[in-house]
Structure 1
Amino acid sequence: MKTKQDVIMRQWLAEPLPKSVEQALERLGRTEDVCRIAVMPDVHLADDVCIGTVMATTHMIYPDAVGGDIGCGMAAVRFDTEAALLSDEWTAAKVLHGLIRTIPSIRHGAATAVYRLPEHLRDVPLSDQCLEKLKQRDARVQLGTLGRGNHFLEFQVDEEGALWLMVHSGSRMIGQAIRDHHLRAATRSSTGFWYLESDKQSGEAYLRDVIWALQYAEENRQAMIRSAVCLMEDLFSVTADWSSVFSCHHNHVRREIHCGSQWWVHRKGAIWAGAGVKGIIPGSMGTASYHVEGRGHEGSLQSSSHGAGRLLSRRDAHRIIRIDQLKREMKGVWFDQRRLSRLCDEAPSAYKDIACVMRAQSELTKILRIVRPVLNYKAMS
């Protein structure tokens, strides 16, 4: 029987782990073929594998160690103007109104949806006809949409006063459908997690679909960036410095070499932090975010946190955090105050202190730039 000592587990923590997270990680460590685990400082409980967990296997693929929002991640671009452009309420309101109109939460209508998916997505078939039908129908109208929950679009200011745009979103409905479809072909491990064999047809099909979902998620973020840049051009005649664009994703599995061995590295709520690789680590809707460069730390499987990480569950946040508190925490940041009652679960105090998270992983990433929120947009249905 596999024991805890058989697995190498490293942790970078901003605070002591709750007992529930400790138990979840211990269960993961007893799971077949899990050889290494790296725990990020934003780790928090999820229904299956904790968010903020990186794990390596030799041949088994665990879809729940990637999650349903395959390819979820961040993208950023700098504008050729200063953030002072958005300093007054009237200007901010125009931008928010434009974002609501052009970047929906769930799907585009007939007038704004793309006529067809880009060629690199359209011409690569998914592994099953039911997924292919969803791709042709729903993935097309969801391209360029945010989703709900903690997904957002934010205008930010850097230390030099320049205006930046950041987007957080993923593969939308099609990523969830891919995960759910392949779990039906998976085998249950002794600890209750479901796996696919990487060298079997079912595992190969899942991995191909993951690659497609990663590309779709990236195209989704870039579509929203283009929409937001067009909006700013129309409103203020400012444009983006396209040479500044960069992005990263934090839900994926892929083959990597670490310490001379080949592994299937699963990242769920963690970014690849290879040496010199640029990444984005957001805080909350009222706190700073970080542009970083990976240090290539092998103990962490060349990974770092994907954000601050939740401190309170959504249910607890809605129960504990009042609207007045949310207003205080969001002072100085423009957002749609008509949605106050529905945003308490996204309040800054519902998340861990991002500064503490960054200190806890200083050996994993180098901070290149700190950006602070000016205007935050969270889409809702």
Structure 2
Amino acid sequence: MEQKDKINGYDLLAAGYNAGEILGLALSVLEEHFNTLSKEVALVLMKKVLTRPEDFLDDEVLEKLATKIIEAANRPADDTIALLNNVSDYTMYGAGHIEEGAKQQMSVAMKLPVAVAGALMPDAHQGYGLPIGGVLAVKNAVIPYGVGVDIGCRMALSVFDISEVHFFENQDMYKRELIAHTKFGAGHGFHGRYKADHAVLDNPAFNMTPFVKQLQDKAASQLGSSGGGNHFVEWGIIEFETSNEELNIASGKYLALLTHSGSRGFGATVAGHYTRLAKQLCKLPKEAVNLAYLDMDTAAGQEYWLAMNLAGEYASACHEIIHQKLTKAIGAQVLARVENHHNFAWKEFWNGEEVIVHRKGATPAGKGVMGIIPGSMTAPGFLVSGKGATSAINSASHGAGRQMSRTKAIQQISKAEMQAVLKEHQVTLIGAGLDEAPMAYKDINIVMDSQKELVDIIAKFTPKMVRMADDGSRED
């Protein structure tokens, strides 16, 4: 006998079903298998399937409907990827000097379903997505904003066979050459016969996609230049209290060149493009939207990975050209050169499994790995050797870290105050805005004291002549 007063969609909506695929499937099942039941009995059955679908997973007729209901219950609305309910533990260094915003961002990052391990460095401060100074290991995914906008940003140090006395006696010459062979600021580059050449421009990876290919000309024009913001090229005195066998350098004081910059407009454009793509493909809740990730098993993930590595090689080439130009200009011999990068992702092993480690403003500090941790334009920087601390995911800070936002620094620090600090430390400054004033940064000594278990100090670098972007501008 056919069911009288058949159940319709409005009845199921009133019973708690939502409009969509499941409601349609429920009506279809009723029509095909339960059309002889009374409306009341059929409605009771449909309510039971809806409220206790697990009881019907072995039912030959209702198993498909029950499965769909369970899947829908476990799937966030609008295809949003759910964050984990509990925050996995992560290690903080110098927690008392890290702002709450950075800690909150790190906690959100640890809720990502792909997150494996995390750490927060003592120079950490709030950023976009992953905080600056954040280290995050994930499974088979890469987070464009976990790498950052300035892909492959790095430090490079050249130690010369020149004494500090020679530098102090010839500062006019060193200033002239520093100005002549460097260029700074968003969008700035070289043209005509002043353009540099490097094998990186012939890297086949530039042909990977039309998007990357069309950035090759920009990369060529900006090759050997430096960005805005906190990027710099500076002369300073480096002191080795004891001889270093690995670098083959005797104890003493030497003139050194220290540079800080990244992948310029090329890297910034790559970062913007793949961040937008990640947000389209990986929908996360509002608080985690800037942590959108690309699966490494997808074409988009592989594209970004290749583009990121190309940007890293390009950033390294920029430093190489700057150091070559200035080394030649002063007629020096390089005794040692050390380079390390941050704002990058590495494939590494963690607890026996391969993971992708994002270091956004953090220095690789594996056992015996050398790196440079700068202070500010008047504070010392340090040449260090990593201790390979697993709790820090083999990382350390990438600098002193900001204690004052750029806007706040401009509002609260006067030009006279900045000049007084420069004079006190006998530092010559070329360019830079108030947003880069030394007072805007944390005390590098406190930062270094907070990471004694992460690095050993090999040498101390004291800035003496610093060049930065004239207006403190940031990369475009």
What's the TM-score, normalizing by structure 2? 0.74
CA distance in 1, matches of 2:226, 2:359: 21
Match of 2:223 among 116, 119, 143: 143
Is 1:110 the counterpart of 2:192 in the alignment?
yes
Deviation at 1:34, TM superposition (A): 1.5
Map of 1:256 onto structure 2: 348
8 Å CA contact 2:84, 2:113 repeated in 1: no
Deviation at 1:4, TM superposition (A): 6.0
- AA aligned to 2:189 is R
Map of 2:163 onto structure 1: 82
Over the aligned positions, Cα root-mean-square deviation in angstroms equals 1.8
- SS at the partner of 2:215? helix
Deviation at 1:3, TM superposition (A): 4.2
Is 1:279 the counterpart of 2:371 in the alignment?
yes
- SS at the partner of 1:23? helix
CA distance in 1, matches of 2:266, 2:154: 15
Deviation at 1:80, TM superposition (A): 0.8
CA distance in 2, matches of 1:117, 1:129: 21
Deviation at 1:253, TM superposition (A): 0.6
1:224-373 equivalences under 5 Å are 224-233=322-331, 239-241=332-334, 243-331=335-423, 332-336=425-429, 339=431, 342-373=432-463
- SS at the partner of 2:121? strand
- SS at the partner of 1:147? coil
Match of 1:175 among 237, 250, 267: 267
Deviation at 1:20, TM superposition (A): 2.0
Match of 1:23 among 104, 129, 138: 104
Deviation at 1:18, TM superposition (A): 2.3
What's the TM-score, normalizing by structure 1? 0.91
Map of 2:304 onto structure 1: 206
How many corresponding residue pairs?
A: 368
Select the structure that is richer in helix: 2
Map of 1:223 onto structure 2: 321
CA distance in 2, matches of 1:225, 1:288: 20
Is 1:152 the counterpart of 2:232 in the alignment?
yes
- SS at the partner of 1:153? strand
CA distance in 2, matches of 1:119, 1:319: 41
Deviation at 1:353, TM superposition (A): 0.5
Map of 1:236 onto structure 2: none
1:45-84 equivalences under 5 Å are 45-84=126-165
CA distance in 2, matches of 1:284, 1:126: 39
Deviation at 1:262, TM superposition (A): 1.6
8 Å CA contact 1:274, 1:296 repeated in 2: yes
CA distance in 2, matches of 1:13, 1:303: 14
- SS at the partner of 2:229? coil
Map of 2:89 onto structure 1: 8
Deviation at 1:124, TM superposition (A): 3.1
- SS at the partner of 2:205? coil
8 Å CA contact 1:315, 1:345 repeated in 2: yes
Is 1:123 the counterpart of 2:213 in the alignment?
no
Tell me: CA distance 1:13–1:154, structure 2 relative to 1, closer, same or farther (3 Å).
same
8 Å CA contact 2:136, 2:357 repeated in 1: yes
CA distance in 2, matches of 1:3, 1:131: 35
- SS at the partner of 1:145? coil
CA distance in 2, matches of 1:270, 1:248: 10
Tell me: CA distance 1:126–1:182, structure 2 relative to 1, closer, same or farther (3 Å).
farther
Q: Which runs of 5+ in 2 are unaligned?
A: 1-81, 240-251, 472-476
CA distance in 2, matches of 1:14, 1:77: 33
8 Å CA contact 1:66, 1:252 repeated in 2: yes
CA distance in 2, matches of 1:126, 1:280: 33
Q: Which runs of 5+ in 1 are unaligned?
A: 234-238
CA distance in 2, matches of 1:55, 1:151: 24
8 Å CA contact 2:365, 2:395 repeated in 1: yes
Structure number with greater Rg is 2
Moved more, 279-288 or 224-233: 224-233
* Percentage of pairs with the same residue: 30
Match of 2:172 among 73, 77, 93: 93
- SS at the partner of 1:372? strand
- AA aligned to 1:211 is N
After TM superposition, the runs of 4+ consecutive aligned structure 1 residues lying more than 6 A away are: none
CA distance in 2, matches of 1:72, 1:158: 22
Tell me: CA distance 1:334–1:56, structure 2 relative to 1, closer, same or farther (3 Å).
same
